[in-house]
């Protein structure tokens, strides 16, 4: 994981004899941090160091230190979190499989299979060949998540490794610093937050922000230090007031002041478009009490001491965050009107909030019920692993994970009263896929708090959601525009690909049949051995793959037909009239085609128009109106023409465009839009083509069902007094 910091890499395995007196200080620091282990376990740590030091002999960091200091420092970070001995040993040896000649078998022999699997899970994939660094990072991340699904300790080692690299980032060149910092802020800090490891998250964000935007970090840090609310006497006054009131109520507590980090202030300023002065919770306190009952009593004390700010109270004890975080949050008006955030939680909640899945590691995940941070983390990673199987590529999977790492959640109820947590801005469709993929794929609408709503409706915390399904329903490409969860996005893409493939196979079959008919034969009459030989020659595993390729324009049906029947005669040629003028064998558009048939943006055909199809490589059949100016060019390639027409039962919304001249006066645009809506057509987009003091020319992109519907829209617009002219583009 740290190979970017390695300078030399000679290969050696046998450890030189090292006496106890020669043990360096950095190893003794690790042993002091791991004082909770037994003597035998600490001896294992020293044995791991000796093996790692020998394996990394001759390798140095860019700072000039021996490379072994890095993995030992990673183990020390984990020892400070109280991790078990297997994790610490794996941390010391986490770069050996990648950077040295130590083998998986040797690790297994020396320290057992668990340590070897942990090391293997953290190892990068630099030895494989990828198109670029981005793809290599994405594939490495996919592998790491698969290893995490088997043992969550893999991510703990990975995060500690990244944390130590960020602490020593100064040795890197400026370009590497920015790349590593961006990766940390986009992936690793959000993962630490998703796993509840706030101490790791905060430090990763701070180092990443400082490396990526040093000037902004410096300015915000200075503003924090110079804020009037930060004066020592004011801190003391608020602390004394709260402590006194809590003591009067005989609440045993621990009171800790906290300051919001520069990164969290910066992101809040950007996302909420606020100035530094408008960010209200820069300064705050944490009250740690004995039990849940005391938490709510302490909340009452805080509200009695200073007036609470309306609508800023959040109860994460009753409804924990997805990462297991529990606390009461409130914002108070402090002295001089300064807003003060107060967090109230128990000692147990505080431990989980700071360390997340690293807290109480001896429980392992799942051992502490639903509220266990380990259990929640394992459930999240299991869902990620499930979605990665369906992702088309490592980059697509990585993008889905980024989407899934939103820090804010909404909490909604299923019809049975169970609570589901979803990312901010989730829709009813995201909820459907969160319940089950099959429910998402067959969704048609939803009921939110008993009210019927469309699937694109955004959800708010506390709502009760019920999904309405239909057995015949299938996902639509438009769904990808409004879902926000990675699981929903992956499932929709997978289903659309399946539907596209089925449509492509069906259309490709008809196109090949027609080309074979022009040669006075058919697919059924092609000898099986000839067909199989052609598939093998062109590396098609099945006939369906060939048919789909034909439909998508990657193979010309006439050429395939000639190849399949070529033993009958070398001079066979398809009849041109069969390729162009055939009517009975037209491909009919129903409106349900997925990805195989598309409509040209130059002429925007709608049902009722006279049309022709043009076979385009990679795009399948592109449909043009016969009066399209580009058709003359396409006539030069008759072999690419595809007879095509409209099915009698064609359904769907089709794009059309209108050029409308209007009086340039207030309200004219609204009247045009109202007339189009009155004709039951959707407006896709509006743009000005020309505009002066008297007349404006606008282009309306609309959706209609057919040519008659388009005529109705134009008729209604023409009746308006503000409309000077209406023309289809």
Give the active site residues: 98-99
Strands 597-599 and 620-625 turn out to be parallel
Strands 451-453 and 443-448 turn out to be antiparallel
Helix (H, G, I), strand (E, B) or coil at 315: strand
| CA 622 to centroid of chain Cα atoms | 32
The 3-state secondary structure of 667-702, one letter per residue: CHHHHHHHHHHHCCCEEEEEEEEEECCCEEEEEEEE
Q: How far apart are CA 319 and CA 224, in angstroms?
A: 32
Question: Which stretches of 260-363 are assigned E, i.e. beta strand?
Answer: 283-289, 314-315, 328-333, 339-346
Q: How far apart are CA 204 and CA 159, in angstroms?
A: 9
DSSP code of residue 588: E
Please report where in the chains the tokens 């072994």 appear, as a residue: 68
Nearest to 90 by CA among 141, 52, 61, 40: 52
**Interior CA angle at 408 toward 406 and 414, to 5°?**
100
Other CB atoms within 10 A of residue 137 CB: 19
Q: What is the b/e burial string over 307-342, where b = at least 16 CB atoms within 10 angstroms of the residue's CB?
A: ebbeeeeeebbeebbbbbbbbbbbbbebeeebbbbb
Other CB atoms within 10 A of residue 242 CB: 22
Reading the block at residue 543, the tokens are 């006939």
Residue 289 · residue 299 · CB < 8 Å: no
Would you list the DSSP string of 563-580? HHTGGG-TT----HHHHH
Other CB atoms within 10 A of residue 351 CB: 17
Backbone angles phi and psi of 88, in degrees to 5 = -65, -40
Q: Which residues contact 46 (CB under 8 A, 6 or more apart)?
A: 23, 27, 31
Residue 561 · residue 574 · CB < 8 Å: yes
Nearest to 160 by CA among 12, 2, 324: 2
Q: How far apart are CA 5 and CA 98, in angstroms?
A: 13
Reading the block at residue 282, the tokens are 């820069």
Q: How far apart are the first and last CA of the chain?
A: 57
């Amino acid at each position: 994981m740290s190979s970017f910091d390695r300078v030399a890499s000679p290969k050696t395995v046998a450890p030189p004899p090292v006496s106890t007196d020669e043990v360096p200080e950095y190893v003794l620091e690790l042993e002091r941090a791991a004082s909770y282990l037994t003597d035998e376990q600490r001896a294992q740590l020293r044995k791991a160091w000796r093996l790692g030091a020998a394996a990394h002999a001759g390798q140095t960091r860019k700072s000039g230190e021996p490379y072994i200091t890095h993995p030992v420092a990673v183990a020390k970070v984990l020892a400070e979190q109280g991790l078990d001995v297997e994790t610490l040993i794996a941390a010391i040896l986490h770069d050996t499989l990648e950077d040295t000649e130590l083998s998986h078998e040797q690790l297994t022999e020396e320290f057992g299979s668990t340590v070897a699997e942990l090391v293997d899970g953290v190892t990068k994939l630099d030895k494989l060949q990828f198109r670029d660094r981005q793809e290599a990072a994405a594939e490495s991340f996919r592998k790491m998540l698969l290893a995490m699904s088997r043992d969550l300790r893999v991510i703990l080692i990975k995060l500690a490794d990244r944390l130590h690299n960020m602490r020593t980032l100064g040795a890197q060149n400026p370009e590497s610093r920015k790349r590593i910092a961006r990766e940390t802020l986009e992936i690793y800090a959000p993962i630490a937050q998703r796993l509840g490891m706030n101490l790791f998250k905060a430090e990763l964000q701070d180092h990443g922000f400082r490396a990526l935007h040093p000037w902004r970090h410096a300015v915000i840090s200075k503003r924090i230090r110079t804020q009037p609310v930060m004066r020592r006497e004011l801190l003391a006054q608020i602390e004394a007031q709260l402590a006194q009131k809590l003591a009067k109520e005989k609440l045993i507590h621990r009171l800790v002041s906290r300051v919001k980090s520069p990164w969290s202030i910066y992101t809040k300023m950007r996302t909420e478009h606020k100035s530094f002065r408008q960010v209200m919770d820069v300064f705050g306190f944490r009250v740690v009490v004995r039990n849940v009952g005391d938490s709510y009593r302490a909340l009452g004390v805080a509200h009695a001491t200073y007036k609470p700010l309306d609508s800023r109270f959040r109860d994460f004890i009753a409804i924990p965050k997805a990462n297991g975080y529990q606390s009461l949050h409130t914002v108070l008006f402090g002295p001089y009107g300064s807003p003060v955030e107060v967090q109230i939680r128990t000692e147990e909640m505080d431990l989980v909030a700071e360390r997340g899945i690293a807290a109480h590691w001896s429980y392992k995940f799942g051992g502490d019920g639903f509220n266990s941070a380990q259990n929640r983390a394992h459930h999240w990673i299991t869902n990620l692993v499930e979605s990665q199987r369906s992702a088309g590529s490592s980059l697509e999977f990585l993008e889905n994970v980024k989407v899934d790492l939103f820090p804010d959640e909404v909490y909604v109820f299923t019809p049975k009263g169970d609570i589901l947590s979803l990312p901010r801005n989730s829709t009813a469709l995201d909820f459907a896929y969160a319940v089950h993929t099959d429910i998402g794929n067959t969704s048609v609408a939803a009921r939110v708090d008993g009210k019927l709503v469309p699937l694109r409706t955004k959800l708010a915390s506390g709502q009760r959601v019920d999904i309405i399904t239909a057995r015949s329903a299938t996902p639509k490409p438009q769904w990808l525009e409004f879902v926000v969860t990675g699981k929903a996005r992956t499932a929709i893409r997978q289903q659309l690909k399946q539907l596209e493939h089925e449509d492509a196979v069906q259309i490709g079959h008809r196109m090949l049949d027609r080309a074979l008919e022009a040669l006075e034969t058919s697919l059924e009459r092609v000898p099986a051995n000839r067909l199989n030989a052609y598939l093998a020659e062109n590396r098609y595993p099945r006939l369906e793959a060939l048919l789909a390729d034909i439909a998508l324009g990657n193979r010309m049906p006439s050429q395939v037909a000639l190849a399949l029947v070529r033993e009958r005669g070398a001079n066979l040629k398809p009849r041109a009239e069969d390729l162009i003028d055939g009517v009975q064998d037209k491909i009919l558009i129903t409106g349900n085609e997925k990805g195989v048939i598309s409509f040209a943006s130059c002429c925007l055909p709608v049902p009722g128009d006279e049309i022709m199809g043009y076979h385009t490589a990679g795009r399948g059949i592109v449909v043009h109106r016969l009066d399209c100016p580009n058709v003359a060019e396409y006539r030069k390639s008759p072999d690419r023409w595809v007879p095509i027409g409209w099915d009698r039962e064609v359904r769907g919304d089709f794009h059309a465009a209108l050029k409308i001249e209007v009086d340039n006066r207030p309200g004219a645009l609204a009247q045009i839009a109202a007339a189009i809506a009155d004709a039951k057509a959707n407006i896709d987009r509006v743009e000005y083509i020309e505009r002066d003091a008297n007349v404006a020319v606008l282009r309306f992109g609309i959706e209609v069902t057919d040519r008659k519907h388009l005529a109705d829209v134009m008729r209604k617009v023409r009746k308006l007094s503000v409309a000077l002219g209406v023309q289809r583009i």
